[in-house]
């Protein structure tokens, strides 16, 4: 179960994470967010979790404002010190409404309720078909330009893609650079998600090209990558570190 905790009080957030781990150590807290703005930005740019654990009063408004800005259809468990929002909460796909301070038993009951509902509405398992379908749909090679010359580059030979203003370069593992006529967003759809990861706005990297990963200040990560002869700084933003770890270990 992948969970996002949205809570602007640090101690309350830490307690929720502890209670989740006590309930089931397999529960993954993939993000811990503090505000409406931060949550909206995350949900717009990341896959949605299985369950959203959501405080109602946040530092920049009520969490109901999130659903006015993001199309979200996954279950939600609300946690709040106020009982007057229960009716409004259940207009959303709310599994439960827990009053603070959150007790372990109350949270466990909400999670059990979620699991029962998820099992009741489970879909047929097509997971065995997914890798084959993804392989069929993703590009095997790209056409790159150097001046007026055109070259075909096999996907397996790519080290990374780099966006520089409005120009996107493909860099192979030997450091050769080619201009490609795609945006970074288009490339994310064209390459295989098991092989490529978007580090930030500027870089998409191939897993086979990563030589080393180092801790970097402000809870970020820094990569050493084949083909990076220009010594570009490849930094994984703090918000994407958890996703990178999950991708690397998949």
Domain limits, CATH 2.40.50.1020, in the chain = 130-249
The reported pLDDT for the residue numbered 122 is 54
**What average pLDDT does this structure show over 69-86?**
84
Is the per-residue pLDDT at 166 higher than 90? no
CA-CA distance, 72 to 49, in Å (whole number)?
10
More confident residue, 106 or 134: 106
Can you tell me whether residue 13 is helix, strand or coil?
helix
* Beta bridge mates, 6: 33, 54
How far is 205 from 226, CA to CA, in rounded Å?
10
Q: Could you read off the pLDDT of 168-225 as tens digits, one per residue?
A: 999 999 999 999 999 999 999 899 989 999 999 999 999 999 999 999 988 899 999 9
CATH number assigned to the domain with residue range 130-249, chosen from the 4 options 3.40.50.1820, 2.40.30.10, 3.40.50.970, 2.40.50.1020: 2.40.50.1020
Mean pLDDT of the chain: 88
pLDDT at position 82: 75
Whether pLDDT at 81 is above 90: no
129 — pLDDT class (breaks 50, 70, 90): very low
- DSSP letters along 81-144, please? S-STTHHHHTTSSEEEEEESSPPHHHHHHHHHHHHHHHHHTPPP--TTTHHHHHHHHS-SEEEE
Express each pLDDT in 102-116 by its tens digit.
999 999 999 998 888
* Per-residue pLDDT tens over the stretch 6-45: 999 999 999 999 999 999 999 999 999 999 999 999 999 9
Between vectors from CA 67 to CA 66 and to CA 70, what angle results, nearest 5°?
Answer: 85
Most confident of 6-10, 93-97, 137-141: 6-10
Fold of 2-120: Rossmann fold (3.40.50)
């Amino acid at each position: 179960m992948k969970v996002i905790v949205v809570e602007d009080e640090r101690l309350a957030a830490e307690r929720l994470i502890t209670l989740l781990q006590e309930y089931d150590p397999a529960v993954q807290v993939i993000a811990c967010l503090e505000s409406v703005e931060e949550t909206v930005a995350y949900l717009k740019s990341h896959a949605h979790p299985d369950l959203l654990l959501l405080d109602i009063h946040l530092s920049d408004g009520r969490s109901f404002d999130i659903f006015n800005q993001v199309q979200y259809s996954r279950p939600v468990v609300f946690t709040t010190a106020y009982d007057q929002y229960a009716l409004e909460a259940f207009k959303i796909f709310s599994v439960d409404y827990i009053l603070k301070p959150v007790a372990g038993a109350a949270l466990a009951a909400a999670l059990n309720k979620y699991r029962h509902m998820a099992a009741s509405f489970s879909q047929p398992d097509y997971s065995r078909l997914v890798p084959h379908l993804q392989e069929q749909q993703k590009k095997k090679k790209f056409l790159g330009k150097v001046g007026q010359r055109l070259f075909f580059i096999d996907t397996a030979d790519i080290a990374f893609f780099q966006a520089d203003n409005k120009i996107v370069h493909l860099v192979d593992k030997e450091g050769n650079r080619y201009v490609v006529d795609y945006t970074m967003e288009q490339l994310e759809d064209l390459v295989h998600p098991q092989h490529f990861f978007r580090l930030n706005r500027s870089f998409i990297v191939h897993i086979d090209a990563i030589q080393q990963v180092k801790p970097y200040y402000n809870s970020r990560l820094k990569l050493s990558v084949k083909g990076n002869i220009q010594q570009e700084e490849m930094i994984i933003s703090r918000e994407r570190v958890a996703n990178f770890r999950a991708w690397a270990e998949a």
